[in-house]
């Protein structure tokens, strides 16, 4: 999939004129008067809904949980003030990550394929969070002085078109917003990239990572893609030059030695992503087996082999590979989730139930564990219990379209048809299809009949969505 990096934090800065100051923006600065944080928030959420409806996404709960947890860890030591973040994981093997106004953070699957350590992965996200914390989008608007909401919307339209695969048409729409200022745009962009590198390195160190991971990542990417005619979008929007590498290396070397470079958890998640992009589970199994043959103590390779075998229905072999991992780390969530999935797929539901219950006593709020609990309940045809469990999951993930989709399916299975239509409405709203969302609430109202309190609640929600659609159309037109 061809994917244009949809970060308004950089793209809007491409519209700006030179004269960027080195001082960081203060609260109540001129940029906030032109584009307020609340406008950024609303625009970002509108853009996210449209993007969700246009691109294929990764819905692995363990991957989602890892990205969210790791980004929030970085946010805690960053200069990001508004921490109302939303995430999207793009199903693409191309190297890319982005941040958009309003706290939208996106990661391509390809970031895990290219970032060989957790430190390298974190360095990319720290850079993106720096764009957010420094409000480069709003500062770009302030610098130009004449870009208002309609021009932002024009940018969004082009970005969405490119993200959805429109290619040159989307790029032309973006370029056409301010074609006359190319030289100034590039200069301003470089300045913002330098600032994001600098702030990102500081954030890495504060978060406990080795900041040297950033120049290491840049160096390897430059070697890897130096002669590619069409490098990844990330490198088109983040040109890696000798001077940039030297600058980040010099800054990183000024920090104290030490800091985390990698973790086994990252490598386990990376193995899951690698399996996602293998042509078949058998090919993945061969690759992990080769790594294990080279080093029999490689637990990550053994885990990767086990999940490839589960996916390939080689249940006996998978069980044999998970056994030593669980013996070594009996309470590890990742290993236990793999065993639970194996038991579910192998129709050993009582074993899966027992293990799930035990793990939930230790990690009651863990998203992947609670999700697998729902899956297990559905396998057991306990739809009412699954619906109740999903209602609990919604309290912590009210804006997750994957959860709402499953809520709709589960309510349908349990005979809750009004609830089915309500859940579908929330799902469609989150993926930007307001017409479908409003129609689903029409269906729910008809079912509600003479139940006046329920009809009133549905009608109120429908009015909210109609108003939301009106605001979104106003931003995007």
Picking from 254, 277, 311, the residue at the C-terminal end of a domain is: 254
For residue 400, tell me if it sits in a domain: no
Does the annotation flag 40 for ligand binding? no
Catalytic residue chosen out of the listed positions 60, 86, 197, 343? 197
Is a pLDDT exceeding 60 seen at residue 124? yes
* pLDDT on residue 225: 83
Place of tokens 């290619």: 167
Cα angle 155-161-165, degrees, rounded to a multiple of 5: 145
Is a pLDDT exceeding 70 seen at residue 185? no
- Average pLDDT score over residue span 44-56: 85
Is a pLDDT exceeding 60 seen at residue 320? yes
For residue 108, tell me if it sits in a domain: yes
Is a pLDDT exceeding 70 seen at residue 218? yes
Catalytic residue chosen out of the listed positions 128, 375, 387, 433? 128
Does the annotation flag 238 for ligand binding? no
Is a pLDDT exceeding 60 seen at residue 114? yes
Banded model confidence at residue 155, pLDDT cuts 50, 70, 90: low
> pLDDT tens digits, residue range 67-100?
999 999 999 998 888 788 999 999 999 888 888 7
For residue 203, tell me if it sits in a domain: yes
Is a pLDDT exceeding 80 seen at residue 231? no
Strands 104-108 and 97-100: antiparallel
Instruction: Tokens for 141, please give them.
Output: 């608007």
Strands 104-108 and 86-90: parallel
Place of tokens 């160096």: 219
- Average pLDDT score over residue span 261-272: 97
Core vs surface per residue 353-384: b (16+ CB within 10 A) or e: bebbeebeeeeeebbbbbbbbbbbbbeeeebe
The model's pTM: 0.85
CA distance 388 to 417: 15
Is a pLDDT exceeding 70 seen at residue 335? yes
- Average pLDDT score over residue span 143-148: 47
Q: Are 274 and 304 in contact (CB under 8 A)?
A: yes
* pLDDT on residue 232: 77
Least-confidence region, from 143-147, 287-291, 353-357: 143-147
Residue among 132, 79, 121, 133 nearest 97 (CA): 121
232: alpha, beta or left, given left = phi > 0 and alpha = psi -120 to 50? beta
CA distance 434 to 238: 35
Residue 154 belongs to domain spanning: 34-165+188-254
Please name the helix (run of DSSP H) or strand (run of DSSP E) that holds residue 89, with its range, or none: strand 86-90
Residue among 48, 34, 286, 290 nearest 141 (CA): 34
For residue 24, tell me if it sits in a domain: no
Is a pLDDT exceeding 50 seen at residue 24? no
- Average pLDDT score over residue span 213-242: 82
> pLDDT tens digits, residue range 290-301?
999 999 999 999
Q: Are 383 and 393 in contact (CB under 8 A)?
A: no
CA distance 14 to 188: 7
Does the annotation flag 294 for ligand binding? no
> How does the average pLDDT of the chain come out, rounded?
83
Q: Is 128 a catalytic residue?
A: yes
Q: What proportion of the chain, given as a percentage, has pLDDT over 70?
A: 80
CA distance 420 to 300: 40
CA distance 134 to 349: 50
Q: What sign results for the dihedral spanned by CA atoms 326, 329, 330, 331?
A: negative
Q: Is 65 a catalytic residue?
A: no
Q: What is the CATH number of the domain that holds 119?
A: 3.30.2010.10
For residue 123, tell me if it sits in a domain: yes
Is a pLDDT exceeding 90 seen at residue 420? yes
> pLDDT tens digits, residue range 382-416?
999 999 999 999 999 999 999 999 999 999 999 99
Picking from 254, 273, 296, the residue at the C-terminal end of a domain is: 254
Residue among 430, 436, 448, 443 nearest 394 (CA): 430
Please name the helix (run of DSSP H) or strand (run of DSSP E) that holds residue 76, with its range, or none: helix 61-76
For residue 395, tell me if it sits in a domain: no
For residue 261, tell me if it sits in a domain: no
Q: How many domains does the chain have?
A: 2
* pLDDT on residue 15: 32
Is a pLDDT exceeding 70 seen at residue 189? no
Q: Are 421 and 441 in contact (CB under 8 A)?
A: yes
For residue 192, tell me if it sits in a domain: yes
């Amino acid at each position: 999939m061809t994917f244009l990096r949809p970060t308004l934090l950089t793209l809007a800065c491409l519209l700006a004129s030179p004269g960027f100051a080195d001082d960081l923006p203060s609260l109540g600065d001129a940029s906030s008067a032109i584009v307020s944080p609340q406008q950024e928030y609303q625009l970002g959420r509108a853009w996210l809904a449209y993007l969700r409806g246009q691109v294929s996404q990764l819905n692995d709960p363990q991957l989602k949980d890892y990205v969210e947890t790791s980004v929030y860890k970085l946010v805690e030591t960053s200069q990001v003030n508004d921490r109302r973040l939303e995430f999207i994981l793009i199903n693409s093997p191309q190297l890319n990550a982005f941040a958009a106004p309003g706290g939208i953070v996106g990661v391509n699957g390809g970031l895990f394929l290219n970032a060989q350590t957790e430190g390298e992965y974190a360095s990319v996200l720290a850079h993106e969070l720096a764009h957010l914390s420094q409000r480069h989008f709003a500062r770009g608007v302030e610098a130009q002085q004449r870009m208002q909401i309609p021009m932002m919307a024009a940018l969004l339209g082009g970005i969405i078109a490119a993200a959805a695969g429109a290619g040159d048409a989307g790029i032309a729409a973006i370029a056409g917003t301010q074609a006359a200022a190319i030289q100034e745009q590039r200069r301003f962009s470089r300045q913002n990239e330098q600032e994001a590198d600098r702030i990102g390195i500081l954030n890495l160190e504060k978060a406990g990572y080795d900041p040297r991971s950033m120049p290491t990542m840049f160096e390897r990417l430059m070697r890897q893609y130096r002669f590619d005619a069409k490098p990844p979008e990330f490198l088109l929007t983040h040109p890696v030059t000798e001077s940039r590498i030297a600058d980040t290396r010099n800054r990183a070397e000024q920090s104290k030695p030490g800091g985390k470079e990698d973790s086994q958890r990252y490598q386990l998640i990376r193995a899951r992503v690698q399996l996602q992009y293998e042509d078949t589970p058998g090919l993945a199994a061969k690759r992990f087996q080769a790594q294990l043959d080279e080093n029999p103590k490689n637990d990550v390779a053994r885990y990767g082999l086990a999940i490839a075998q589960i996916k390939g229905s080689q249940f006996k072999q998978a069980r044999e590979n998970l056994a030593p991992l669980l013996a070594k780390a009996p309470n590890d969530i990742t290993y236990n989730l793999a065993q639970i999935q194996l038991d579910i797929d192998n129709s050993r539901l009582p074993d899966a139930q027992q293990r799930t219950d035990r793990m939930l006593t230790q990690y009651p709020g863990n998203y992947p564990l609670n999700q697998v609990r729902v899956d297990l309940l559905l396998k057991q045809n306990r739809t009412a219990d699954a619906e109740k469990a999903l209602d609990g999951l919604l309290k912590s993930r009210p804006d997750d379209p994957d959860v709402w989709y499953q809520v709709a399916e589960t309510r349908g299975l349990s005979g809750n048809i009004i609830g089915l239509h309500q859940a579908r409405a929330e799902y469609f709203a989150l993926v930007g299809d307001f017409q479908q969302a409003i129609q689903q609430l029409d269906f729910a109202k008809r079912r509600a009949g003479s139940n006046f309190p329920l009809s009133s609640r549905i009608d109120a929600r429908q009015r909210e969505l109609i108003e939301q659609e009106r605001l979104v159309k106003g931003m995007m037109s």
